[in-house]
């Protein structure tokens, strides 16, 4: 598996999970690896629990809900022609961006019994990421960001702007519950370009997205603009 060559991405990855190599993925195969690894874990492959850190080639990643809409094929083709091929993931939310300056952090775990553990474990994952990001010098908290794409209550937020979206996928096989927790962390790159690509795609699906580039940021931007600003 090739590895990413972005030094800042590697620095963030090391803060999240020391010693885990950053895979440089290419499109849908990189996305599908997450669900394949979750399934392997549920089949009893305890060795695949833990972290996977990865980047991807430039693309949009949308949900099964959006892929089921009538205009999906045409919208995806148009997006591909603009340089943003569209792939489908199985975790929730709305459309997000993958590209080399975005670090994906996936964490795999499985246990027997209590499904009520899902929420608690997913929050622990998000809090670990927030702690990791603070360790590279960017103050971070968890919360909603109005006007952001794929918004949720456990975004990683810095200075009121969204650094990362988080989502999870739960699969149960018998009495074993498998949890894939995932985050896409903006490390470098142009968030305005990301927002435009998503808005055009979702508009062509027939939705009326209204995202603001001003509420998105990257770790690089935060370090350059307000390294000492505190978040609650």
Partner 1 sequence: MTDVVIPSGLWSADDEAAISAWLYADGDAVAEGAIIAEIMVEKSSFELIAPVSGTLRIEIAAETPVRAGAVAARIV
Residue numbers of the site for partner 1 (CB under 8 A)? 63-65, 68, 90-93, 114-116, 118-119, 122, 150, 152-154, 165-172, 177
Identity of the residue, 166 or 221, whose beta carbon is nearer to partner 1 in the bound complex: 166
CB of 167 to partner 1, least distance (A): 4
Strand segments, DSSP code E, in the chain are 22-24, 50-55, 59-62, 86-88, 96-98, 102-112, 141-143, 155-158, 161-173, 176-186
d(C-alpha 39, C-alpha 173), whole Å: 9
Minimum distance from residue 197 beta carbon to partner 1 (Å): 21
Q: Which residues of 190-226 are buried (b: 16+ CB within 10 A; e: fewer)?
A: ebeebbebbbbbbebbebeeebebebbbbbebbeeee
Q: Is 150 annotated as catalytic? A: yes
- Can you tell me the distance from the alpha carbon of 55 to that of 32, in angstroms, rounded to the nearest whole number? 13
Q: Would you say 82 or 172 has its CB closer to partner 1?
A: 172
Catalytic residue among 59, 126, 141, 150: 150
d(CA 57, CA 111): 33
With respect to partner 1, which residue has the nearer C-beta, 144 or 229? 144
Q: DSSP readout, 126-190? A: HHHHHHHHHHTT---EEE--TT-TT--TTEEEETTEEEEEEEEEEEEETTEEEEEEEEEEE-SS-
By beta-carbon proximity to partner 1, the closer residue of 81 and 112 is 112
- Closest distance of CB 35 from partner 1, Å: 11
C-alpha distances in Å from residue 222, one per residue of 4, 159, 208: 22, 8, 29
Closest separation in Å from C-beta 161 to partner 1 = 18
Distance of alpha carbon 66 from alpha carbon 70, whole angstroms: 9
Which CB, 138 or 167, lies closer to partner 1? 167
- Give me the least distance between CB of 37 and partner 1, in Å please: 16
Residues acting as catalytic residues: 150
């Amino acid at each position: 598996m090739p590895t990413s060559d972005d030094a800042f991405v590697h620095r963030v990855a090391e803060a999240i999970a020391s010693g885990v190599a950053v895979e440089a993925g290419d499109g849908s195969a990189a996305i599908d690896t997450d669900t394949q690894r979750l399934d392997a874990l549920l089949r009893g492959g305890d060795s695949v629990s833990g972290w996977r850190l990865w980047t991807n080639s430039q693309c949009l990643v949308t949900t099964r809900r959006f892929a089921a809409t009538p205009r999906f094929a045409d919208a995806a083709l148009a997006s591909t022609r603009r340089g943003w091929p569209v792939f489908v993931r199985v975790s929730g939310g709305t459309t997000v961006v993958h590209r080399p300056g975005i670090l994906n952090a996936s964490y795999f775990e499985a246990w027997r019994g209590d499904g009520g553990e899902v929420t608690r474990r997913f929050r622990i994952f998000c809090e670990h990421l927030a702690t990791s990001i603070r360790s590279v010098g960017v103050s971070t908290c968890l919360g909603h960001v109005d006007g952001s794409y794929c918004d949720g209550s456990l975004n990683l937020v810095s200075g009121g702007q969204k650094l990362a979206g988080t989502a999870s996928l739960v699969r149960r096989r018998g009495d074993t519950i498998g949890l894939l927790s995932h985050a896409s962390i903006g490390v470098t790159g142009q968030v305005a370009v990301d927002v435009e690509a998503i808005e055009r795609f979702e508009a062509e699906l027939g939705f009326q997205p209204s995202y603001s580039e001003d509420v998105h940021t990257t770790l690089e931007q935060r370090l350059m603009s307000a390294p000492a600003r505190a978040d609650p």
